[in-house]
Chain A
Amino acid sequence: MGYVAIKGGGKAIEAAESLLDFQRAEQGADALPLDTDSIEHQLRNLTSRVISEGGLYHPKLAALAIKQCMGDSLEAAFTLRAYRSTRPRLLETAIHNSSGMRVTRRISAAFKDIPGGQMLGATTDYYLRLLRMNLLDESPEQFQKVASNWFKDMPKDAVPETFPKVVDALRAEGLLPPVNRDPKSDAFDITRDPLVFPVPRSAALATMARAEQGGLLTIAYSNMRGYGDVHPTVAELRVGYLPVFLPHPITGEPIEIGEVLMTECEVVAMYESSDEGSKPVFTLGYGACFGHNEVKAISMAILDRALQKGAMDGPQNPSEDAEFVLLHIDGIDSMGFCTHYKMPHYVTFQSDMDRLRTTQSKRQSGDQA
């Protein structure tokens, strides 16, 4: 089968691009363009999603991508990731420990009295999903008053900068497996090396950290509903800002260069005894991603545990199969494959038609004979 080179459509493509921009500005003569600061702050959950799925912590450019793509999170993440591919990789940090996170929310489903206490932070967990019709015509004054009112009655209670982790307390009680980090093993860089299975856990964590939230949730949900048996309890879910340190170029001393908003979750799952005679302990799963994405972090933690089980006992369910999970959760990959079907397939479809016609005519000849 040969391919047929075709040309044409250039003007239509240019006009389509121009039409897209027209739609962005179509609102009317009095309309103002969205400013990226407003997107970053008022659409913070969408910005978080794009940062996380794009794999680049750049809230401003994520907001720009959202503006440019008119709110399409997959396209925006694609655009952000395309941008990152044009930038040189200058360095990598030393290993950061998230216990230094400046927490803005921390909860546990395992204990009510966790060390340091539970703080709900900003959440929709207990929020009635009723439309607030008053926001339809919210005035700038009303809008600004919401923020200024919040700052009234600031509590005087001293709040620690960081908090101990719930899993550390459980581990100290001998209820969790020991930390068994191999000092020789380094993290797998999924942006430089292809996934060749079996992959180390660090490759799985990195892949899930920039996975598409819906894809990750779908596979984790299959495990939750019955195609798996993780049965997680959220030991701790925390949201906050992780300070990032790099060595000073002259002195070499670590200095804080900025911070990243991230979400982190540790789940405790069904206990197991790895071999006869050893003490049974709970199993663990871990999820983390840029931005405020709780569904993603919990889903990732469940899948981390499912993949550990699949690696140890052989996969019994799709969610325990690393190849199945890790090759189907990237939003840019999956969107690209899906949307490529819209592109011209004239030659392959012509070939399909030729084969169908040949089969039909053979069948017809056979029937006549």
Chain B
Amino acid sequence: MKVSKEKLKLAVKQLTDDWQIQPVALPQAGLGLLKLEDGAFHEPFYLGEFPVTTAHLSITLPDGESVEGAAVMMSDDILHVESLAMCDAILTHELSGCETIRELLVEGRALQQQETNKRHAMLAKTRVDFSLLGDAGDENED
């Protein structure tokens, strides 16, 4: 999800150029409704909507073998989600080119980890160190 869309689309196009790709269900871009449990009484309510796109494809390989792949994403870019559906098929069925997709996965995970590290630092840097008035070792005396 974190790898640039253009890079992913290009990689998938190069891998699947001579494959026959048919939709199992028409790709759709629209909205999803997010249902959340309230934190006080645990009752469900709708927080709001988000963009969502689904793709479900069938791939026929040059040797005649047929496999399926699918993806659903918080996005309104159908081509991107179709590329992800092809990645799903490639990885699930270990088709040729799966190493390339695994490399993209590693890259995406690294980007994701950077984001996680940033968020953890936001918390760690602003953690409140409480002490009672008059206690020694006040952080402001450093």
Instruction: Check A285 for interface membership: any CB of B closer than 8 A.
Output: yes
- Contact-residue bracket for chain B: 35 or more
Query: Given contacts A118-B128, A244-B34, A246-B72, are A181 and B46 in contact (CB under 8 A)?
Result: no
B interface with A by C-beta (< 8 Å): 1, 25, 28-52, 54, 56, 68-76, 88, 116-128, 130
Which A residues lie at the B interface, using CB under 8 A?
A: 52, 55-58, 84, 87-98, 102-105, 107, 112-113, 117-122, 151, 154-155, 157, 159, 161, 165, 167, 177, 179-181, 185-191, 201-203, 205-206, 209-210, 236, 241-242, 244, 246, 248-250, 255, 257-260, 262, 264, 266, 284-286, 288-290, 304
A56 near B117 (CB under 8 angstroms)? no
Q: In this complex, which of B30, B44, B47 has the most chain A Cβ atoms within 10 angstroms of its Cβ? A: B47
In angstroms, Cα B36 to Cα A94, docked, is: 8
Q: Are B45 and A187 in contact (CB under 8 A)?
A: yes
Query: Beyond A90-B28, A96-B36, is A288–B43 a contact (Cβ under 8 Å)?
Result: no
A356 CB to closest chain B CB (Å) equals 47
B40 / chain A contacts, CB cutoff of 8 Å: 167, 266, 284-286, 304
A-B contact pairs, 18 of them (CB 8 A): A56-B31, A93-B32, A93-B34, A95-B35, A119-B122, A119-B124, A121-B123, A154-B117, A161-B116, A191-B46, A191-B49, A202-B44, A209-B48, A258-B73, A260-B47, A260-B50, A285-B40, A286-B39
Main secondary structure of the interface of B (DSSP, over half): strand
Contacts of B1 in A (CB 8 A): 258
Check if A262 sits within 8 Å of B47, measured CB to CB.
Answer: yes
Establish whether residues B126 and A120, one from each chain, have CB atoms under 8 Å apart when the complex forms: yes
Q: How far is the CB of B74 from chain A (nearest CB, A)?
A: 3
- Please determine whether B38 and A249 come into contact, CB atoms closer than 8 angstroms: no
| Inter-chain contact A181/B70, CB cutoff 8 Å | no
